[in-house]
Structures are given as C-alpha cells and as structure tokens.
Amino acid sequence: MKRFLKQHLKKIAFTLLLVAGLGGYYTLRSAEEPAQFLTAAVVDQDIEKTVSSIGTLQGATEVDVGAQVSGQLTSLKVRLGQQVKAGELLASIDPVLQENDLRDALAEQQVAAAQIKVREAQLKLYLQAFKRQEQMLSADASSRAELEAAEAQLTIGRAELLASREQLKKATIRVDKSRANLGYTRILAPMDGVVTSIVTKEGQTVVSAQQAPTILKLTNLDTMTVKAKISEADVVHVKAGMEVYFTILGDPETRYVARLRAIEPAPSSSGESAGSAEGAIYYNGLFEVANPEHTLRVGMTAQVSIIQARVKAALAIPLSALGTALGRNRFEVRVLADELPQSREIVTGIDDGVQVQVVSGLEVGEQLILKDGGQATAEGLEVEFY
C-alpha cells in the first residue's frame, strides 16, 4: 500500500513539474515576442453615403391602344416586340356597320339639303304674297285681315327655313361622326414605340359600349422610367434632384446614372399591406434614364442607390476600427505606433456602411488596431499520467 502511494505521489509530482515548466516556457516566449494585432491602414478613397432601394423599369411613355368602335378585329398588322412609327396601321376592324351608318348619315344630309330648297321656295312665295297684300290694302282692294294672314305665313316660312338649316347642320355633324367612326376601324399608332403587349387577337369581337377595349400596348423604350421603392425610414432623407445610379441583374458592372425627378406623396399600393401597421411602407422615387440601344427592358429589376453625400479622396478607415464614442462624430481609436498600441481621438464624417471618413486625427498609412491577435497559451494541452 505504501509502495502504491509512493508511486502515485511521484506521478503527481512529475506532472506538476511538467506543467510548471511549460507555463514558464510560454511566459518567457510571450515576453520575448511582441503582441500580435489585427490592423487596417488609413487609406485615401472616395466615400458615398447612399440610400439603397429596389426599383422596377418601365417605359417613360406607355399607351394602351384601344378600339373606339365595336366590331370584329379582322386584321392585326404587327407582332409582339415590333418597332412601329406614329401613324402606322396596327389593326383593322370590320367596317361594314360603320360604312352603312355613314351612308345613312349622308342620305339624311341630302334630305335636309333638299328640304332647305323647298323652304326657300315656299318663303319666296310667302314674301310675294305679303307684298301683294300690302299693295292691295293701300289701294283698298283687300282687307287688313288678309294682310295679317300673309304676314303670319311669311313668319312661319322663315322659321321653317331656319329649322331646315339647323337640321342640315345636325345631319352634317352625324356625317362627320360616321366618317370618323369609319376611320376608327383602322387603328393607327399614336406614337413611335415598341409593341410590348397584344391583348386582342384576330377574329375577336371588341365592344366599345362603355370603354375602349385595349387591342395592344405601345411603349417608347428610348427613355425608361425607374420606380424605386424607398422605405419610410429612408424617404425623409432623400429629395428630388439627388444623383442616383443603378445596375441591373444581368449586367452588374454597368452603372446607369440619373437624377431623382420626384417622390410620390402617397405610399406605393403594390406592396403587401401598404400603409398598414403590419406591412412595410414604401414610397416610389421616380427618375428617367436614356436607353438608345434598348438594352433596358420593361419589368427589369434595378438595384438603386440614391447619393445623399459624397466626399472625394477622403481619409477612410473601417467602421470596425471605431472605439468608444466621445461625442457627436468623435470617437476613440487605437493606433499601432512603434509596435505599441496608442489611444487617439478622431473626428469622423460620412460613412457608407463599411468605411467611415476621418475629418481629423489620423494620417494616410497609419495602422489602426481592429482586434487583438491570438496569444499562445498552454490551454488544451493533454497530459498523460503514468
């Protein structure tokens, strides 16, 4: 038993000596080697403070081309994606009904014109009869009652002629309307653009009793409008006239630059539960961009950045280098000088979410401590007992 205890105490003593020796070794080594730090240099670069949003592209000018008369769409002259010019024939509606209505209106116009000639002839007779009664009355060859009857007939004749002339005007208006309706059976392009949607196909019947049914949609792709959704938290920080840029998913390297034209005063209704307490509220920021090559297409997603502030060639450091806040735009940082950490107070400017501008307190090339480096320790060392 004594022998067992003696051997066990020897093992314990050996282990303690081993741990003590390792501890002394690492203490001596750490004293000889300088502490390791994770650092970042103060650099000279441009910094932008931006508001980010997602936008949707649409044509700056979009027109729903509809039918103003009812009938069967007998011919569709364009295809989807086709470029058309203003005045170009897009489609045709069966003109039979409109042609018949025009013929009827022309017939009414001719009847009204003939009626005027009849009234003019009658008025001439009434005038002659009135003058004759005046002469006969002056010669005591007729009574005043006969003169008054002739005068009344003359007045009626003049009124009938006036009514016939108004009837002719009405018939002429109907002719013009019927002729216009006949022209509406030929649907012409109201502007230069690209056919971006075809709603009605050949053979379908369109009915324009209440509203003009849409045949197709024309979009001018030379200029695109971007609708950028700006959150209610960010919208108070942006205003019309600010510079914006965006990229598209298919070409993230190309940056399109423009200026914010306007911000819609009411929330966007396209978002889920827009304006409610549960859903996020977004406002549409609008701006235009030239698209001469038609690279941009309707419905594309734009990754938009609205520039609030920009500093060229600013002193910049990572945000992670900032230490304790000492006041408004004042922070403590740790600078590595002669391999030793030093505390310093700096004044900051704008930041882009990653880098922050340094207004004063640092110079280009100085090393800032971001995080202490790992120190060698004896933790985790496995010791085997014998």
Same domain? For 358 and 348 the reply is yes
E-assigned strand segments in 79-213: 83-84, 89-93, 186-188, 193-198, 205-206
Of 309, 326, 350, the residue that ends a domain is 309
Distance CA 59, CA 217 (A): 11
Nearest residue to 182 via CA among 88, 69, 98, 97: 98
Query: Which tokens go with 238?
Result: 């942006």
Whether residue 349 is contained in a domain is answered as yes
Distance CA 308, CA 14 (A): 69
Query: Which tokens go with 190?
Result: 């109201």
**CATH code of residue 365:** 2.40.420.20
Whether residue 223 is contained in a domain is answered as yes
Q: Is the pLDDT of residue 60 over 80?
A: yes
E-assigned strand segments in 205-281: 205-206, 214-231, 243-248, 251-259, 262-263
Pairing of strands 243-248, 214-231: unpaired
Whether residue 74 is contained in a domain is answered as no
Nearest residue to 198 via CA among 298, 86, 297, 78: 78
Confidence of residue 277 (pLDDT cuts 50, 70, 90): very low
Same domain? For 137 and 163 the reply is yes
Whether residue 81 is contained in a domain is answered as no
Q: Is the pLDDT of residue 17 over 80?
A: no
Q: Is the pLDDT of residue 212 over 80?
A: no
Same domain? For 251 and 333 the reply is no
DSSP string, 45-99: EEEEEEEEEEEEEEEEEEEEEE-SS-EEEEEE---TT-EE-TT-EEEEE--HHHH
Same domain? For 284 and 336 the reply is no
Whether residue 262 is contained in a domain is answered as yes
pLDDT of residue 93: 95
Of 309, 335, 363, the residue that ends a domain is 309
Same domain? For 119 and 176 the reply is yes
Whether residue 212 is contained in a domain is answered as no
Whether residue 384 is contained in a domain is answered as no
Dihedrals phi, psi of 75, to nearest 5 degrees: -150, 130
Of 290, 309, 328, the residue that ends a domain is 309
Helix pair 144-183, 96-138: axis angle to 10 deg: 160
Dihedrals phi, psi of 164, to nearest 5 degrees: -65, -40
Q: What 3-state DSSP class applies to 133?
A: helix
pLDDT of residue 271: 47
* Between 151 and 11, residue with greater pLDDT: 151
pLDDT of residue 134: 87
Domain that holds residue 150: 95-184
pLDDT of residue 9: 52
pLDDT of residue 15: 56
Q: What is the mean pLDDT of residues 122-141?
A: 88
Q: Is the pLDDT of residue 223 over 90?
A: yes
Check: CB of residue 42 under 8 Å from CB of residue 355.
no
Same domain? For 264 and 291 the reply is yes
The one-character DSSP state at 280 is: -
Whether residue 68 is contained in a domain is answered as no
Q: Is the pLDDT of residue 238 over 80?
A: yes
Q: Is the pLDDT of residue 234 over 60?
A: yes
Check: CB of residue 265 under 8 Å from CB of residue 88.
no
**What is the count of structural domains for the chain?**
4
Element (H, E) at 143: none
pLDDT, the chain, mean: 85
Check: CB of residue 245 under 8 Å from CB of residue 256.
yes
